[in-house]
A = this chain, B = another copy of it.
């Protein structure tokens, strides 16, 4: 069971975008530079966030990305779902239909108990991620406990953000 690194990048991107002044944007290049990850591949993840309505993309000169939602509304599950998709991790191949004692279709009306258990487990996983809002994440970075780092970041954002007319 593995989660692609796009999710990590997407979460960090959203955390950074949350620090932007209203109506300002950061370009895909600037985000990739800040995170230290390959630009074109991060662009793919940002596209997914854009399609999901998590970030707003603006093309052209002084374009870029900004959050499309309030940080209190945006959960870690939203970001994960947008980038990883929502297909269940456990893929039931209906093994019980196979072999010399294979069950008939009628005998398989109820879902396989193994698949049902995994569905439950994934629901708990999803619930846990959905209980984490972006604010919880940026609290760490923007915390007053680390004023030096906070200043470095907000300064960088100010220098690299593009402002709408």
Contacts and interface: CB of A to CB of B under 8 A. Distances in A.
A91 B33 CA distance: 21
What secondary structure prevails in chain A residues at the interface with B?
A: helix
Contacts of A62: none
A140 B110 contact: yes
Contacts of A141: 96
A125 interface: yes
B136 A113 contact: yes
Interface in A109-157: 110, 112-114, 117-118, 120-129, 132, 136-137, 139-141, 146, 149, 152-153, 156
Copies in the complex: 2
Given A15-B114, A121-B126, 18 more contacts: A2-B2, A3-B91, A5-B93, A8-B90, A8-B91, A8-B92, A12-B114, A34-B99, A36-B97, A37-B95, A76-B114, A101-B149, A103-B149, A107-B146, A110-B140, A112-B140, A120-B128, A121-B125
Interface of A: 1-3, 5, 7-9, 11-12, 15, 33-37, 76, 84, 89-93, 95-103, 107, 110, 112-114, 117-118, 120-129, 132, 136-137, 139-141, 146, 149, 152-153, 156
